[in-house]
Each structure stands twice: as structure tokens, then as C-alpha cells.
């Protein structure tokens, strides 16, 4: 097919192409411009970038562990009474668990009481250890602890292997972000948008952007010209048609930038509101990814449960509670699961700057309609110094994060190829965290699994395949520096900058 354009049309097309490139490479990763009913659950993955101090989010409130906790954190501890007091967590029968949430997490506490919040003790990477944000986040994003060589994110592979996946689904995967996160890297149908109002071609002269009621007869704007340019049969034109379809699909949905009454006005709340609306529009959304930064609290974390960290927890809890309440009121929450994860936890002992340094194990929070909540999962080994000593003073990891995600994919998304989503992960057994699709009975409380091996026996980026989850692998010396405990060696700054440039170029050339 031949397209004839005059000089003005050609210039408009160039402007439109530049505008698309400037807006987002992920504009090209949309489906056809018609809505499809989503017959599957939706997973919303919230990544707390920076390493949240999980021990001040979910903390012991009684017993010996409370004593050890207060000894290790004399200044930044969350109190059990008075201002900022921890919120005790009880089981459905009213019995105490010995744990509580930070006093600012009232929204999460309410979801717990509703029976739809579950907490996995000491969750993380069981076969690799690093205290580098860059490495830890990529290991988790790729779903391959200890290696970053597969080039695709675990959410991307989850969609690629999703039973019944169709290329005609409009929005199977969504990143509410300014860029495509690594956990969706390789997902050619994933759409990235910071907000629906940003997903428009509005570069260049206002009068050139599109035809309006008062435009001259026969006038074609940038948007109309661009649509005509994508009629060919080469790769860039296929991608262009997909981008145009994504733009038009989003434009046709009644997205509302105004938050519902009672919602917080934070950026995270607005991200969740975009996800909530996308779920309601039946665009086929299966996987959504959101990032929340600001958790690297090396200093001035806040004393006695207050300060900076208190504000971060309040923002997180309020936004999640608003999202949960909004979808629960209209029934959508019955098929939505939210997973809240961070790259690692913080040291048990506070540092000299009123903060906490990079650690290891951390709680994983899971909430939603399918969750068998108001209970803890995994193993809590305690905070006795002799227990923490083999882990250099860190909370250990006793549950591999892939165990939780594998169960979620199998039980709720109907996955039969989770080995392709998490290559190299073996020995899986269900924790019982999720009701099977269509099931209403809660799963029984899982048996407590064996503690995770000491750092001196964890395999790193090389060597034999990892041992099954929950089993102690044979001792293999870890290659780490005492005091940093990170592998592989951190990239030099020039090499890191070059790598980031190459990554951006690769993203741009996906256009």
C-alpha cells in the first residue's frame, strides 16, 4: 500500500513520531482498540523500592522478642503504648499473635481484621544474598535470584505463559510509571503510563495537534496524520498501529483524574486509582506494576515510632486501604490480589544516625479478596542474638518469595507453567494463602517450614542449582565481603552509567 503525503503532512508525521518517542516507548505496546472482558484475576504488584524497614512495620509486641527488639532499637522502636503505639494483630478467634503493625498502619490493620491481609514472615531471596539495591531489585524483578541473564521480567513471562492469553486483549499488563519497570521487561503488550491524562500526543503547536470543530475544511492534525502513516506492513508500522490503538483505547475510557471522596492525595494513591479504573473498564488487565520509593532510611528514620518513617507508612497504608475499600464496595476486589514487596529488609540493630542499614529478610504483605488472611505464614525464628549471629545480625529469610508468587499464579491465575516464570526454582509446595479460583473455603494453616540456611551456606551466582525451597542446601562458601555481603561486585560508576545508557537505547529502539 502506498501512502501519499504532501510536505506539510510529512512534517506533521515527523512531529508526531518525535512526540511518540518523547512520550514513552511503551506507547507501542498496546492491543487493538476494543475492550475485552477480563475473565481472570488481576495481580497488583507494589514494589517498595529502597528496602523498607519491615521490622518497624510488622514488629513483636510481647515476649522475649519484644525485649530483644527494644534492646536493638532503643531510639527508633515502635512503642506498645502511648503515642504511635503499635496496633496488635489478633487471629480470627481473638487470640494474640505476639505481633503488631506500626501505629500509622491503621488501614492495613482494618484489612487484617476484615480477614483479607496475610503476612509472610522472613520472606525474600533464599538462594542469593546482596545488599546492593541495584542487584537485589533486578534479581527480584527478573525472578531469578543470583542471575540477571534472562533479559525478561517475571511479570512479562507470567503473561506470556498465561493460559488463554490472547493478543487481542487491550491492556493485559500495565505499569503505572514513567518508564517500563524491569519486572515487565519483554512484555510486548504491556502499557506504561504515569497517568491516563499523560497518554496523549500533544507535542508541538496546539493548532496542529488534531482537527477541531473550528478547523479549516479538510484539515488533518498530528493525530490524524499519524494514524494514516501506520497502514503499511513493516515492523515499525505494526508497532505504530499498536501505539495508535493504545492511545485511542485509553482516550475512549472514562478515566477520571479526580480521586474519590476520602482518598489520600498522594502520588501512590493516584497510581492505585488508575489501576482501579483500569480494572473496572474490563480491558483485560491481569498484571499491574507500581513502584513506591523513599524507603532507604539510613538516617533520621524517626524516634519512638514517629518522624519520617511514620509518614511513609501512613501514606502506604492509607492508599492501600482506599484501593481495597473502593473495589470491595463494588465486588471487584473478590478477583484482585495485591502483593507488597521490597528488595530486602533492614538491620535489626539501629545505626548511629538514627536509621537502619541494609539487611536481609523482610515481611511480605498480601491482601485482597482471594487471600486467606488474618494469619501469618512462613517461619519466624525469633530475634535472639544467637539466632541472628549466623546472618550477621539480620533477620533471616525462611520463605522464598517465589513460593508465594508460584502459589498465587497457580491458584488464582490458572498457571500450569510456573517453571517458565521462575526458571530454576524447584521443590515448591503451597502455603495455603489463596482460595482456589471459584473456591470459598479458606485453606488450612500451613505447616511451619524449616529455617533458611546461614549465609555461609547460601549459593551465589555460580554453582549447582539451588536446593528446594525450605531445605538447607549443602554448604558452599559464599563469596562476599564481610560487612557488605553483596554479590556480584558492584559495577564501577562509569560502567553503570554506560549500562543504563544502553538500556535506554534498547528501550527506544523497541519502537
Q: What is the pLDDT of residues 309-348, one digit of tens each?
A: 999 999 999 999 999 999 999 999 999 999 999 999 999 9
How crowded is residue 376: how many other Cβ atoms within 10 Å of its Cβ? 19
Kindly state the average pLDDT of the residues 199-213: 59
Q: What is the pLDDT of residue 473?
A: 31
Task: Give pTM, 2 decimals.
Answer: 0.77
Among 48-52, 53-57, 489-493, whose mean pLDDT is lowest?
A: 489-493
Q: Please report whether residue 146 resides in a domain.
A: yes
Q: Is residue 228 part of a domain?
A: no
Compute the radius of gyration of the chain from its Cα atoms. Answer: 24
Percent pLDDT > 70 in the chain is 69
Element (H, E) at 217: none
501 or 146: which leads in pLDDT:
146
Consecutive H or E run containing 20: helix 7-23
Which residues, 6+ apart, have CB-to-CB distance to 81 below 8 Å?
A: none
pLDDT band for 458, please (50, 70, 90 cuts). very low
**Inside any domain, residue 320:** yes
Check which CATH number belongs to the domain holding 154 and give it: 3.40.720
Residues near 266 by beta carbon (within 8 Å), at least 6 away in sequence:
315, 318, 319
Query: In this predicted model, what pLDDT tens digit does every residue of 387-431 receive, in sequence order?
Result: 999 999 999 999 999 999 999 999 999 999 999 999 999 999 999
pLDDT tier at 217 (50, 70, 90 boundaries)?
Answer: confident
Report the relative pairing of strands 42-48 and 336-342 from DSSP bridges. parallel
Residue 324 maps to a domain:
yes
d(CA 166, CA 185): 19
Q: What is the pLDDT of residue 169?
A: 83
Could you report the per-residue pLDDT of 467-490, keeping only the tens digit for each? Answer: 333 333 332 222 333 333 333 333
The pLDDT value recorded for residue 198 is 66
Residue 62 lies in a domain: yes
**Res 291 pLDDT > 70:** yes
> Per-residue pLDDT averaged across 146-159, rounded?
91
- For residue 226, CA distances in Å to 18, 138, 220 come to 11, 36, 10
Would you place residue 194 in the very low, low, confident or very high pLDDT band (cuts 50, 70, 90)? confident
Burial of 194 (0-12, 13-18, 19+ CB in 10 A): middle
pLDDT for position 506: 47
Residue among 1, 44, 2, 31 at smallest CA distance from 369: 44
Q: Is the pLDDT of residue 465 over 60?
A: no
Helix residue ranges per DSSP H, 95-234: 106-113, 133-142, 154-160, 222-229
Using an 8 Å Cβ cutoff, are 378 and 121 in contact? Answer: yes
State the Cα–Cα distance between residues 267 and 281, nearest whole angstrom. 21
Residue 5 has a pLDDT of 41
pLDDT at 231: 67
Determine the pLDDT at residue 149: 75
What average pLDDT does the structure give for the chain?
A: 79
Cis peptide bond prior to 15, omega within 30° of 0: no
CB of 76 closer than 8 Å to CB of 348: no
What is the predicted pLDDT for the residue at 409? 97
Q: How many domains does the chain have?
A: 1
Is 210 part of any domain?
no
Residue 249 binned pLDDT confidence (cut-offs 50, 70, 90): confident
254-270, pLDDT tens digit by residue?
A: 899 999 999 999 999 99
Q: What is the mean pLDDT of residues 81-89?
A: 97
Is a pLDDT exceeding 50 seen at residue 46? Answer: yes
Q: Is the pLDDT of residue 10 over 90?
A: no
For 395, the domain range is: 31-195+257-509
pLDDT over 90 at 153, yes or no: yes
User: Which residue in the block uniquely carries the three cell numbers 505494526?
Assistant: 238
User: Maximum CA pair distance of the chain?
Assistant: 81
How would residue 150 be classed by pLDDT, with cut points 50, 70 and 90?
confident
Supply the pLDDT for residue 510.
Answer: 44
More confident residue, 21 or 294: 294
pLDDT at 211 over 90: no
- In this prediction, residue 438 has a pLDDT band, given cuts at 50, 70 and 90, of low
**Residue 212, domain member (yes or no):** no
Helices (H), 27-119: 63-72, 106-113
Q: For 230-283, where are the alpha helices, taking DSSP H only? A: 235-252, 267-280
Residue 151 inside a domain? The answer is yes
Are β-strands 362-368 and 117-124 bridged in parallel, bridged antiparallel, or unpaired? antiparallel
Amino acid at each position: 500500500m502506498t501512502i501519499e503525503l504532501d510536505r506539510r503532512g510529512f512534517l506533521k508525521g515527523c512531529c508526531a513520531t518525535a512526540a511518540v518517542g518523547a512520550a514513552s516507548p511503551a506507547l507501542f505496546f498496546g492491543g487493538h482498540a476494543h475492550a475485552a472482558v477480563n475473565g481472570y484475576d488481576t495481580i497488583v504488584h507494589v514494589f517498595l523500592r529502597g528496602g523498607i524497614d519491615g521490622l518497624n512495620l510488622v514488629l513483636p509486641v510481647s515476649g522475649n522478642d519484644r525485649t530483644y527488639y527494644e534492646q536493638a532499637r532503643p531510639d527508633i522502636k515502635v512503642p506498645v503504648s502511648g503515642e504511635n503505639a503499635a496496633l496488635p494483630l489478633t487471629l480470627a478467634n481473638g487470640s494474640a499473635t505476639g505481633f503488631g503493625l506500626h501505629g500509622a498502619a491503621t488501614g492495613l490493620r482494618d484489612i487484617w481484621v476484615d480477614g483479607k491481609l496475610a503476612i509472610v514472615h522472613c520472606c525474600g531471596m533464599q538462594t542469593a544474598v546482596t545488599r546492593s539495591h541495584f542487584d537485589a531489585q533486578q534479581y527480584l524483578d527478573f525472578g531469578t535470584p543470583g542471575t540477571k541473564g534472562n533479559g525478561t521480567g517475571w511479570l512479562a513471562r507470567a503473561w506470556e505463559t498465561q493460559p488463554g492469553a490472547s493478543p487481542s486483549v487491550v491492556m493485559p499488563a500495565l505499569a503505572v510509571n514513567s518508564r517500563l519497570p524491569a519486572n515487565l521487561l519483554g512484555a510486548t503488550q504491556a502499557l506504561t503510563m504515569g497517568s491516563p491524562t499523560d497518554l496523549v500526543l500533544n507535542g508541538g503547536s496546539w493548532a496542529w495537534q488534531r482537527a477541531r470543530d473550528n478547523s479549516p475544511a479538510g484539515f488533518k492534525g498530528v493525530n490524524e496524520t499519524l494514524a494514516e502513516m501506520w497502514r503499511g506492513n513493516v515492523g515499525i508500522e505494526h508497532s505504530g498501529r499498536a501505539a495508535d490503538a493504545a492511545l485511542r483505547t485509553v482516550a475512549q475510557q472514562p478515566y477520571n483524574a479526580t480521586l474519590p471522596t476520602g482518598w489520600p492525595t498522594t502520588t501512590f494513591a493516584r497510581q492505585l486509582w488508575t489501576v482501579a479504573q483500569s480494572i473496572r473498564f474490563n480491558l483485560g488487565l491481569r498484571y499491574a506494576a507500581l513502584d513506591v520509593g523513599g524507603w532507604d532510611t539510613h538516617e533520621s528514620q524517626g524516634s519512638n515510632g514517629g518522624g519520617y518513617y511514620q509518614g511513609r507508612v501512613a501514606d502506604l497504608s492509607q492508599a492501600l486501604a482506599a484501593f481495597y475499600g473502593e473495589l470491595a464496595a463494588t465486588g471487584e476486589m473478590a478477583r484482585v490480589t495485591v502483593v507488597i514487596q521490597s528488595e530486602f529488609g533492614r538491620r535489626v540493630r539501629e545505626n548511629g544516625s538514627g536509621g537502619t542499614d541494609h539487611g536481609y529478610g523482610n515481611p511480605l504483605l498480601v491482601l485482597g479478596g482471594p487471600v486467606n488472611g488474618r494469619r501469618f505464614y512462613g517461619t519466624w525464628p525469633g530475634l535472639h542474638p544467637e539466632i541472628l549471629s549466623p546472618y550477621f545480625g539480620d533477620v533471616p529469610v525462611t520463605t522464598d518469595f517465589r513460593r508465594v508468587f508460584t502459589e498465587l499464579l497457580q491458584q488464582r491465575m490458572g498457571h500450569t507453567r510456573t517453571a517458565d516464570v521462575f526458571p530454576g526454582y524447584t521443590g515448591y509446595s503451597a502455603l495455603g494463602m489463596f482460595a482456589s479460583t471459584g473456591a470459598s473455603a479458606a485453606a488450612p494453616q500451613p505447616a511451619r517450614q524449616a529455617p533458611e540456611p546461614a549465609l555461609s551456606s547460601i549459593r551465589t551466582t555460580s554453582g549447582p542449582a539451588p536446593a528446594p525451597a525450605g531445605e538447607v542446601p549443602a554448604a558452599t562458601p559464599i563469596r562476599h565481603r564481610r560487612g557488605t555481603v553483596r554479590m556480584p561486585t558492584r559495577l564501577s560508576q562509569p560502567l553503570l552509567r554506560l549500562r543504563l545508557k544502553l538500556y535506554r537505547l534498547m528501550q527506544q529502539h523497541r519502537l
